[in-house]
Amino acid sequence: MVEERPFGTTLLALFQAVTGVIELNLGILMLTIGNPLPTVFPSINTYWVGLLMIVLGVISLFLGRTLWAGGASNWLLAISLTLIDVTIRIMLPVTYGTSWIAFAATLELDIVVLYYLTRPSTTPFFGGDGIRSVLSKFKIEMEPRMKEVRFTLRLVRKSYLSIVGASIIVFYLLVALLAPFLADPTNSLQQTGDPNMMWKDIELQATVSLEPQGPSAAHPFGTIQNQYDMYYGCIWGARSALRVGLYVAGGSMLIGLLIGIFASYYGGWIDEALMRFTDIIFAFPGLILAMTLVVVLVPMGINRLDAVMFALTIVGWPGYARLIRGEILRIKNEDYIEAAKSVGCSDLRVITKHILPNSIYPILIVFTLDIGTVVLGAAALSFLGLGAPPGYADWGQIIAFSVNWIYGSPSNPFAKWHTFVIPGLFISLFVMGWNLLGDALRDILDPTMRRK
Amino acid sequence: MGLRTYILRRLILAIPVLFGAALFVFAVIQFIPVTLRATLFVTSPQQLRIEGGLDRIARINGLYDPIYVQFYYWMRALLVDRNLGVDIIGQPVFDAIMKRLPSTVEIVLYASPVIIAIGLTLGVLSGANKDKLVDQASRVLAIMGTSLPSFWFGIVLLSIFYAGLQWFPPQRVGIDVTKFIGQEGSPWRWYTGLVTIDSLINGQLWIFVDALRHLVLPVTVLSLLNSAVMVRVTRSSMLEALGKDYITAAKAKGLTRNEVINKHARRNALIPALTISGLMVAGLMTGVTITETVFNMGGIGQYAAAAAQRYDIPPVIGYTVLSAVVFVISNLIVDILYAYIDPRIRLG
């Protein structure tokens, strides 16, 4: 039996939809043109706030949809979405200095949503008479999914390499997260105003000039050419690597997914044109094309790091587009897709509810492996002098700085070993972590392999 | 469909891809502002002092023409005149690339057989001995090949074998050889441009040995890291072949294990491994760019990388176009070979 949607819920869903659209527009404006409302958002970092605005917009739209649809699983989803929403809305003024007043109204809306979701008169629409019955209904609805999740977790525990890979990644995530505590950015902020730049030991520079110095109490990993502190560079380099890896792999995946789905679902000349375009990108060896793009983009005034990420994304997305296209073509003619269409599912519903969940695993595996590849590519560009600006905490660049010191000194040829061994280990271990995890995920997630 | 029709069809399909690649590179160049592009045509400071300056240079060289006209001239320069522009020191890019090509060819010439040998032998062995010692070794190699930055591997090797042991120095040839070749009245003659081959033709064995010593490290870096993918692909296709019914049949009729592996499984497993050699070409070209820079070998990869560092655009564009052509043609050759070996491809 389908409960009628209470009027309050309808109203809230519509409100959320409108908020979502406004926030999406604001976010896109901030990212492309600049700050649209300088009185409401005085002196903000338009890049980060713009991105967060887009996230907020998507959450609001999604929340509106879940409120509109009802049902036990949507009830819990709506609660979690609202909580995430509240967190971001409080975080924005605290971290990025946006004014509180701008978010007070939307915060209130969230509180109203939470209030409504827990009211006895609203809960029947979500499948129960009170919170407890909704929760128990939710448990029953989710039982098959939970069973799969438990099975996956058991496979993960049994796979030694996935544990190793995952722990390496967790290690780097922690290092990146705790970077300000592991390596104090005061010196960097003083010297350059940017915590992502390595700091120089000015006193050492006055006495020994360029020559890298071995590990000491002041510099646990020693210094590299120009007396940059290597410990600081290696620790904050984890942030750079994660940023480049996640942005580029994530961006390529999103673009590739959108284009691949679009091409394969509609077929015809759209498909043909888009796939011929991927052929053209594939006609170049990836890193060489990325190098060309960086060389063209940087003189145009684009920030060097952004140019590298942009170039690697352009090179990266066709792989995802082809992969998802192949997957979709494979399952497009399956009976369950026909069935979904015949009961009148919209294209969007067929794609999001039936096609994507069945084809997403290979994409996720490639995504995991891709993060390592991307970081290696960015490091290679850094090594060629095309990556981050000089002094940026970036492993590839630290290694590039060591090239002049391969031959230590006549008495001890390995005198400067630390300049390349330490950053090299950092980057190799990072890439290895993602590769091990990706390989293990292949065995765990692939539906044709996992039950063997 | 016969083999000849298949080859013809593949050839015709490759042309639009090459054309599209050229169009793509041209489109990328269009993002550079006109005045900046005009500076690429400047060969002497006097040109700038003439009335009109950069604007005039842009007009003379047709940078204000409609896009399709510009594309026509660009393609004509590329195909007919083999003109890729001039680099920052005023040298024509095409000549510069031609001058440096032998050095790159020499590295690739030695690295490819090593890659194929390691890839196929280790792949077949680890497929046939799953989870044994060989298989574990190939797994380590695969992890190394995908996780180690090639430039870092090169630096570590240099530190050990050059700085430490003094065995294998960087650069293309030693200082004695450079002096010997460059001295007045030198008996040295260039034939192919490859030092190792020319030294044999010239009868100078010591130069041959010297050139080989200089090649060891770059070839090691290129081949170890690039063979990893081939090992994994050969291994998995070997495993797949070993699970087939005809293997069971071969075992049932009483063949020895060696006969089953060498005569039945290996031959079928090598076919999929062949398709990966197209990817190997891409890996080699990227690898060459980095390895040449690390070991200062003076090939085209190093030339392009050094130009990229100075944001000197014509050499980079020239190198990119060249690598796309090489990559597409080698993929074409791989496809044709594949069809030649496996009739199912051209008939299916």
Instruction: Report the residue from B20, B32, B305 with minimal CB separation from A299.
Output: B32
Looking at residue B192, its pLDDT comes to 77
Q: Find the helix packing angle between B195-202 and B205-242, rounded to 10°.
A: 130
To the nearest 10°, the Cα dihedral for A427, A429, A432, A433?
-110
Contact B327 A284 (CB under 8 A): yes
| Selection from B240, B227, B250 nearest residue B270 by Cα | B240
Please state the rounded mean pLDDT for residues A313-323: 89
Q: Encode A190-219: b = buried (16+ Cβ within 10 Å), e = exposed.
A: eeeeebbbbbbbeebeeeeeebbbeeeeeb
| Selection from A329, A385, A388 nearest residue A359 by Cα | A329
B249 touches chain A (CB under 8 A): no
pTM summary value: 0.78
Please give the backbone phi and psi of residue B117, each rounded to the nearest 5 degrees, phi first: -65, -50
Provide the pLDDT confidence category of residue A95 given band limits of 50, 70 and 90.
low
Contacts of A280 in chain B (CB under 8 A): 17, 20-21, 23-24
Helix and strand totals (H; E) in chain B: 17, 0
Looking at chain A, how many residues does it have? 452
And the tokens for B274?
A: 């062949």
Q: Write out residues 17-36 of B within 8 Å (CB-CB) of A.
A: 17-18, 20-21, 23-25, 28-29, 31-33, 36
Please state the rounded mean pLDDT for residues A138-154: 79
At position B181, the amino acid (one-letter code) is: I
Angle at the Cα of A169 from the Cα atoms of A164 and A174, rounded to 5 degrees: 125
Contact B343, B271 (CB under 8 A): no
Looking at residue B260, its pLDDT comes to 82
Chain A: residue whose CA lies nearest to B164: A413
Contact A383, A186 (CB under 8 A): no
Instruction: Report the residue from B28, B149, B283 with minimal CB separation from A379.
Output: B149
Provide the pLDDT confidence category of residue A171 given band limits of 50, 70 and 90.
very high
Please state the rounded mean pLDDT for residues B212-240: 84
Share above pLDDT 90 across residues of chain A, in percent, rounded to a whole number: 7
Chain A interface test: which of B144, B159, B295 (most A C-beta within 10 Å): B159
Provide the pLDDT confidence category of residue B348 given band limits of 50, 70 and 90.
low
Q: What whole-number distance in Å separates Cα of residue B87 and Cα of residue B45?
A: 15
Please state the rounded mean pLDDT for residues A150-167: 81
Q: What whole-number distance in Å separates Cα of residue B295 and Cα of residue B297?
A: 6
Q: What whole-number distance in Å separates Cα of residue A377 and Cα of residue A304?
A: 15
Instruction: Report the residue from A292, A372, A407 with minimal CB separation from B316.
Output: A292
Contact A299 B36 (CB under 8 A): yes
Instruction: Report the residue from B147, B158, B324 with minimal CB separation from A372.
Output: B147
Q: What whole-number distance in Å separates Cα of residue A223 and Cα of residue A210?
A: 10
Distance (Å) from the alpha carbon of B81 to chain A's nearest alpha carbon: 23
Chain A: residue whose CA lies nearest to B316: A292
Is residue B96 over pLDDT 60? yes
Looking at residue B346, its pLDDT comes to 66
Please state the rounded mean pLDDT for residues A127-132: 65
Chain B: residue whose CA lies nearest to A295: B311
Looking at residue A4, its pLDDT comes to 73
Please state the rounded mean pLDDT for residues A285-300: 87
Contact B147 A299 (CB under 8 A): no
Contact B163 A408 (CB under 8 A): yes
Is residue B196 over pLDDT 70? yes
Looking at residue B46, its pLDDT comes to 66
Is residue A2 over pLDDT 90? no
Instruction: Report the residue from A283, A294, A427 with minimal CB separation from B327.
Output: A283
Please state the rounded mean pLDDT for residues A370-374: 90
Mean pLDDT, rounded, of chain B? 81
Q: Encode A12-33: b = buried (16+ Cβ within 10 Å), e = exposed.
A: bbebbbebbeebbebbebbbee
* Number of C-beta neighbours around residue A356 at 10 A: 16
Category of B85 on φ-ψ map: left (φ > 0), alpha (ψ -120 to 50) or beta: left
Tens digits of residue pLDDT in B134-166: 888 888 888 888 888 888 888 888 888 887 787
Provide the pLDDT confidence category of residue B183 given band limits of 50, 70 and 90.
confident
Looking at residue A311, its pLDDT comes to 92
B164 touches chain A (CB under 8 A): yes
Q: What whole-number distance in Å separates Cα of residue B201 and Cα of residue A268?
A: 59
Q: Write out residues 185-204 of B within 8 Å (CB-CB) of A.
A: none
Contacts of A420 in chain B (CB under 8 A): 152, 155-156, 159
Contact B308 A402 (CB under 8 A): no
Tens digits of residue pLDDT in A380-392: 999 888 888 888 8
Mean pLDDT, rounded, of chain A? 80
Please state the rounded mean pLDDT for residues A290-306: 85
B239 touches chain A (CB under 8 A): no
Chain B interface test: which of A296, A419, A448 (most B C-beta within 10 Å): A296
Chain B: residue whose CA lies nearest to A296: B32
Looking at residue A105, its pLDDT comes to 66
Distance (Å) from the alpha carbon of A297 to chain B's nearest alpha carbon: 8
Is residue B52 over pLDDT 70? no
Contacts of B23 in chain A (CB under 8 A): 280
Where is average pLDDT lowest: A17-26, B17-26, B190-199? B190-199
Q: What whole-number distance in Å separates Cα of residue A329 and Cα of residue B159?
A: 51
Looking at residue A431, its pLDDT comes to 92
Category of B91 on φ-ψ map: left (φ > 0), alpha (ψ -120 to 50) or beta: beta
Tens digits of residue pLDDT in A182-217: 877 777 777 777 777 877 777 777 777 777 777 777
Provide the pLDDT confidence category of residue B49 given band limits of 50, 70 and 90.
low
Provide the pLDDT confidence category of residue A1 given band limits of 50, 70 and 90.
very low
- Angstrom distances, CA of residue A160 to CA of A157, A167, A313, B80, B236: 7, 11, 32, 59, 21
Tens digits of residue pLDDT in A52-65: 888 888 888 888 88
Where is average pLDDT lowest: A1-5, A251-255, A350-354, B222-226? A1-5
Q: What whole-number distance in Å separates Cα of residue B12 and Cα of residue B4?
A: 12
Please state the rounded mean pLDDT for residues B216-241: 84
- Contacts by residues B284-287 (CB-CB < 8 Å, ≥ 24 positions apart): B284/B108, B284/B111, B284/B112, B284/B115, B284/B222, B284/B226, B285/A285, B285/A288, B285/B323, B285/B326, B285/B327, B286/A285, B286/A286, B286/A287, B286/A288, B286/A380, B287/B150, B287/B221, B287/B222, B287/B225, B287/B226
Q: Which residue shows structure tokens 């793509």?
A: B24
Residue, of A140 and B325, whose pLDDT is higher: B325
Contacts of B288 in chain A (CB under 8 A): none
Chain A: residue whose CA lies nearest to B31: A296
Is residue A430 over pLDDT 90? yes
B104 touches chain A (CB under 8 A): no
β strands within A204-250, DSSP E? 223-224, 228-229
Where is average pLDDT lowest: A297-306, A352-361, B32-41, B263-272? B32-41
Where is average pLDDT lowest: A29-43, A108-122, A133-147, A356-370? A29-43
Looking at residue A99, its pLDDT comes to 63
Domains and CATH numbers, chain A: 7-123 (no CATH), 164-445 (1.10.3720.10)
Is residue A295 over pLDDT 80? yes
B14 touches chain A (CB under 8 A): no
Is residue B228 over pLDDT 80? yes
Please give the backbone phi and psi of residue A223, each rounded to the nearest 5 degrees, phi first: -120, 160
